[in-house]
Structure 1
Amino acid sequence: MGKKFFPIIFLGLMLVLAACGGNESESEQSTEDKGEINIGLNNWAENVAVSNMWKVVLEEEGYTVHLTQVEKGALYTALENDDLDLGLEVWLPYTDEVFYEQYKEDLAWHKTWFSGTELGLAVPTYMENIETMEDLKANADQFDGKIVGIDAGASLMGLTEEAIGEYGLDGYELQSSSGPVMTAELGKAMEDEAPILVTLWKPHWVFAEYDVKFLEDTKKVYGEKEDISWVSRQSFEEDHPELTETLNSWQMDDESLGSLMNMIKEEEDAEAGAKKWVEENRALIDEWIKPLQ
């Protein structure tokens, strides 16, 4: 009996093992590593937000994603040298114009994902006597002659240096720091209802948190409203056509981007906040990533 049925039992076991092996292969294939994506990250609130959001989304899709913190100038150099794959925040036609002109033939410039930005100098709304850039000239003492800036290499800082010259703000010193340092100083000043003058941009979570206002830029040093797009190394689309199509279908507005930034701020951990936002906005994410499916 045992000898007679051994081949049948053995064949059955082999089929079971083969089936199990097939399931493992299918599982492994579904989570197959699609390669590494290196994203250049600068320390602006919305850049931190969208970079971490895409890290979460792409890692779910099987990519290995690295975020490298760089200043704006270094970002474009790294993309040109193929040391980075992506930069997710390009402000055009004004803020990043200098970088576009320098690298327009060496990098790949892609579609807009956010429309209608704004940037300039801002103060709390309780400073009722300061409404325009011209108002600053006679009120330097209120601010101790200090403009709280962000990263030294940011285009916003260069534009602010131009504004100091255009508006004759010789009594002011532009102090470089970082996005988080600037917002921390803004928050502390507003708790005390103290004067403060900062470089700021929109979209930014501070507009949901605090009552602040941009100063009217009558000379248009900071330009008109802009759009945010993304940039990649030259051969990125050839290497990752589906991912390029995915990123070109990505669209956000004040509500979606603001909620992402706020969730990251509340979580106090960028990746954890981004992951929570992705879970709560799965339908939107699924629309973006259809080319990857």
Structure 2
Amino acid sequence: MVKFNWKKLGIATGLSLGLLLAGCSSDGGEDKADTIGKGQEVELAYVEWDSEIASTHVIGKVLEDLGYDVSITPLDNAVMWKSVATGDADAMVSAWLPATHQAQFAEYGDQMIDLGPNLEGAKIGMVVPAYMDVNSIEDLSDEAGKTITGIEAGAGVVQATERALEEYPNLGDWKLETSSSGAMATALGQAYEKEEEIIVTGWSPHWKFNKYDLKYLEDPKGVYGGEETINTMVREGLEEDMPELYQILDNFYWSMEDMEEVMVMIQDGESPEDAAAKWVEENEDKVAEWTEGIK
């Protein structure tokens, strides 16, 4: 059963069992859950960004349906990387590269295995409502009270924004207010409803681009980098210990549209567990690609 691992946080909870994957059977009609996972324990780490909540719950649900005993643990960004590097976690599907997690990759990347992108076309930057009459960071003057609404301190997009305040001369007396991903989204929604000015640290894929008409501010100095990928990272030795799990994680790949479907369901009130189970049930063909060749 996929479950939150709250050993570090002191709270116990769990994800409910879902429907087994339809069509996942071997030659005698035997469920893959009986032949693959066999109750092996799997520890997945993730950072509590909307995108990573979606991806981790979806891959966790797939693994659960294959018979693994999956625990998922939300961690601070740096701790997430360290947990895979030290083997405390088996994997994460939350590595934003090459820019957002550049510092973490430099510190821990050689202590784990990079399985490559599970999603392409990701992006970070300063985001504003489309109704704001500004299109570039270098054109900012006194919008939004010279304040940028950020997320958690230490997040890659926050670190990039701190560099932007140094790189762009027009932002010399601006300030960055850090909070949380949820607080940023709430502030954005409140400002958007009133058509007020607001500048947030943003990234895509994210449900806010489906709900609101937003735009990235141009970044002529390239502080935020170009398009990024979200990669799957696993601990050293995983391929030898659990080769089927390794292959499934290596096969895991989906689109921004896929991820945003899950994020929108969560934003609309579904639990991450229910949203993941619904997406898995409705996307059997895609899930079958991730489990192809697994017997």
Contact 1:267 1:273 in 2 (8 A): no
1:200 aligns with 2:202: yes
Residue of 277, 280, 284 corresponding to 2:279: 277
What's the counterpart of residue 109 of structure 2?
104
1:125 aligns with 2:130: yes
1:77 aligns with 2:82: yes
What's the counterpart of residue 115 of structure 1?
120
CA shift, 1:244, in A, is 1.4
CA shift, 1:127, in A, is 0.5
1:155 aligns with 2:156: yes
- For residues 34 and 157 of structure 2, the distance between their equivalents in structure 1, rounded to whole angstroms, comes to 45
What's the counterpart of residue 240 of structure 1?
242
Cα-Cα RMSD: 2.0
What's the counterpart of residue 64 of structure 1?
69
Instruction: Give the secondary structure class of the aligned counterpart of 1:290.
Output: coil
What's the counterpart of residue 36 of structure 1?
41
Q: Which stretch has the larger CA shift, 202-211 or 243-252? A: 243-252
CA shift, 1:107, in A, is 1.2
Q: Which stretch has the larger CA shift, 28-37 or 144-153? A: 28-37
Evaluate the alpha carbon distance shift between residue 190 and residue 61 of structure 1 in structure 2; reply closer, same or farther with a 3 A threshold: same
What's the counterpart of residue 18 of structure 1?
none
CA shift, 1:288, in A, is 0.9
CA shift, 1:34, in A, is 3.2
Instruction: Give the secondary structure class of the aligned counterpart of 1:257.
Output: helix
Evaluate the alpha carbon distance shift between residue 195 and residue 254 of structure 1 in structure 2; reply closer, same or farther with a 3 A threshold: same
* Structure 1: stretches of 5+ with no match in the other structure: 1-25
AA partner of residue 136 (structure 2)? T
Contact 1:115 1:226 in 2 (8 A): yes
Evaluate the alpha carbon distance shift between residue 238 and residue 31 of structure 1 in structure 2; reply closer, same or farther with a 3 A threshold: closer
What's the counterpart of residue 138 of structure 2?
134
Evaluate the alpha carbon distance shift between residue 32 and residue 108 of structure 1 in structure 2; reply closer, same or farther with a 3 A threshold: closer
- For residues 111 and 31 of structure 1, the distance between their equivalents in structure 2, rounded to whole angstroms, comes to 23
Instruction: Give the secondary structure class of the aligned counterpart of 2:110.
Output: coil
Instruction: Give the secondary structure class of the aligned counterpart of 1:116.
Output: strand
CA shift, 1:28, in A, is 9.5
CA shift, 1:29, in A, is 4.4
CA shift, 1:266, in A, is 2.2
TM-score, normalization: structure 1?
0.85
Evaluate the alpha carbon distance shift between residue 32 and residue 43 of structure 1 in structure 2; reply closer, same or farther with a 3 A threshold: closer
Contact 2:150 2:178 in 1 (8 A): yes
CA shift, 1:31, in A, is 8.7
* Structure 2: stretches of 5+ with no match in the other structure: 1-30
What's the counterpart of residue 24 of structure 2?
none
- For residues 278 and 83 of structure 1, the distance between their equivalents in structure 2, rounded to whole angstroms, comes to 27
What's the counterpart of residue 178 of structure 2?
176
Instruction: Give the secondary structure class of the aligned counterpart of 2:45.
Output: strand
Instruction: Give the secondary structure class of the aligned counterpart of 1:161.
Output: helix
Identity among equivalent pairs (%): 34
- For residues 27 and 250 of structure 1, the distance between their equivalents in structure 2, rounded to whole angstroms, comes to 17
Greater than 3 Å deviation, 4+ residue runs: 26-34
Contact 1:87 1:232 in 2 (8 A): yes
Contact 2:34 2:67 in 1 (8 A): no
CA shift, 1:183, in A, is 1.0
- For residues 66 and 27 of structure 1, the distance between their equivalents in structure 2, rounded to whole angstroms, comes to 19
- For residues 170 and 290 of structure 1, the distance between their equivalents in structure 2, rounded to whole angstroms, comes to 53
CA shift, 1:178, in A, is 1.7
- For residues 161 and 32 of structure 2, the distance between their equivalents in structure 1, rounded to whole angstroms, comes to 53
Contact 1:266 1:273 in 2 (8 A): no
Alignment coverage as a number of residue pairs? 265
Contact 1:164 1:170 in 2 (8 A): yes
Which of the two has higher C-alpha Rg?
1
Return the structure number with greater helix share: 1
1:89 aligns with 2:86: no
Evaluate the alpha carbon distance shift between residue 232 and residue 180 of structure 1 in structure 2; reply closer, same or farther with a 3 A threshold: same
Evaluate the alpha carbon distance shift between residue 132 and residue 28 of structure 1 in structure 2; reply closer, same or farther with a 3 A threshold: closer
Contact 1:263 1:277 in 2 (8 A): no
Evaluate the alpha carbon distance shift between residue 111 and residue 262 of structure 1 in structure 2; reply closer, same or farther with a 3 A threshold: same
Contact 1:110 1:248 in 2 (8 A): yes
